Homo-oligomer: A and B are copies of this chain.
Amino acid sequence: MTMSGGKVDPGGDGRDSGSAKVTELESLRHRVKELEAENAKLLSLISSCQCQQMEVKHDVSVLDPGSLVRRSRKARKRADSIPSHLVSKRYIALKIMYFGKRFYGFSAEAQMEPSVESEIFKALERTRLLVGDKKESNYSRCGRTDKGVSSTGQVIALFLRSRLKTPSGDSEAHVDAKVNERGEYDYVRVLNRALPDDIRVLGWSPAPIDFHARFSCSAREYKYFFWRQNLNLSAMDIAGKKFIGEHDFRNFCKMDVANVHCYTRRVTFFEVSPCQNSHEGAQLCTFTMRGSAFLWHQVRAMVAVLFMIGQGVESVDVIDTMLDTTKIPRKPQYLLASEIPLVLRTCEFENVDFICSSGAAESLRTHFKNESLRYQLESVIFQEALRNCLPVGNEKSSCNGVEKKKKGAVHVPLLSRPTEPSYEERSAKLKSRQQETCHV
């Protein structure tokens, strides 16, 4: 996209300065568009950064007037003939699956599209199950998974249109949670027809009026898939079990000092286990961990350190050391494990029982089988590439004389690495910035 340069406008007003201004106007407009496109591109590049060097969530400004990236929802709403406060509604919980790879996270707040949440709301609008707008729907979500992270059990809650009339006929028009679901919209089926292939509703449930997808959640379970290769599974299992219990996980997360002041969390379950899948000789395995709540990037940080232990470059004791925040007040720098294999598997609630019609369930199963095969086919192409490599022993060239041996990456012990600022140091810095701002 290069500058168009000044296009001569033959219909100019005749005066030199006038037509020059029009030309400059056009070229400036074009330049603004180019820059906005480049800006959006850079923002999306930045969002893929996983190192601690860039505080993406907090720093990137959306140059808004116009909000570069966030799409206007007003353009999509059709006028309803019945005023929304008279439409029969009920408070619903939805269980959601998504393959997170192409999304900028679950949440639409970061204003980078697409997000899982924004796709869900598009489907809700398209199917007219959303009455009024998102703000009026009392919407809440259980977890806020990051870019690339998937889920098979995310939960959201909000008011949706109901087919059932309210028993009392009051103008609030809320269908009581205890009302029998017979006759209700098949929310799962309706929504799944409107969602993209990588998002599905797995079930729905009436929700009590005090239900909150985040605060009513009693437990969350994550799974992290990986290929065994040469990793020492039992060492990783021993190490991972040290996470069980209540601990300060500040050395296993990305601190968000402005909003999070307590880094203590409870892990109730941890396990490394092989899955049934094996592929071309490689054994699929998974980490499974449960807790009431997890910090930002906590699972990926835990997994990163477990991999080092599995590779034999760190001892299982490094977990105990890193959980001891008096001994290690500053987090050593290390890369997070990749986000793609991470799955928020399930979120648990006391008073919610998800249901799904048999028709919708059958469609779901067919869909997941087909998608699994479709993604598998991509892997097959790399296997074909492997088969088409030149045969071993085809070495007529001894390259450039000096056979460059590939350098193995040298592992720097975690406890010898540069560290990040401690919670106290970050907190103090934030306070002083806030004070400066106040004094301006």
Contacts and interface: CB of A to CB of B under 8 A. Distances in A.
B355 A396 contact: yes
Given A99-B378, A361-B389, A385-B368, A5 B38 contact: no
Given A35-B35, A185-B399, A356-B395, 8 more contacts: A1-B70, A2-B66, A4-B66, A39-B39, A223-B384, A341-B381, A364-B389, A372-B386
Contacts of A384: 152, 223, 225, 343, 345
A18 interface: yes
A43 B183 CA distance: 45
Interface stretch (A57-65, A241-249, A293-301, A423-431): A57-65
Tell me what chain A mostly uses at the interface: helix, strand, loop, or mixed.
Answer: mixed
A43 B40 contact: no
B68 A37 contact: yes
Contacts of A399: 184-186, 189, 357, 359-360
Interface string A98-118: 010100000000000000000
Contacts of A70: 1-2
A401 interface: yes
A50 interface: yes
A202 B389 contact: yes
23 contacts: A3-B29, A3-B33, A24-B25, A35-B39, A37-B68, A45-B54, A48-B53, A49-B49, A49-B51, A152-B387, A182-B398, A186-B399, A225-B377, A225-B381, A279-B373, A280-B373, A354-B394, A360-B399, A361-B395, A363-B406, A371-B379, A372-B382, A376-B376
Copies of this chain, tallied across the complex: 2
Contact of A184 (B51, B358, B393, B400): B400
A23 B155 CA distance: 46
A225 B384 CA distance: 10
A341 B56 CA distance: 23
Contacts of A282: 373
Interface residues of A, number: 125
- Which of A40, A41, A388 counts the most B-chain CB atoms under 10 A from its CB? A388
Interface in A253-311: 275, 277, 279-280, 282, 284
Contacts of A186: 397, 399-400
A9 interface: no
Interface of A: 1-5, 18, 21-22, 24-25, 28-29, 31-43, 45-46, 48-54, 56, 59-61, 63, 65-70, 97, 99, 101, 150, 152-153, 163, 181-186, 189, 200, 202-203, 223, 225-227, 275, 277, 279-280, 282, 284, 335, 340-341, 343, 345-346, 354-361, 363-365, 368-369, 371-390, 392-401, 403-406
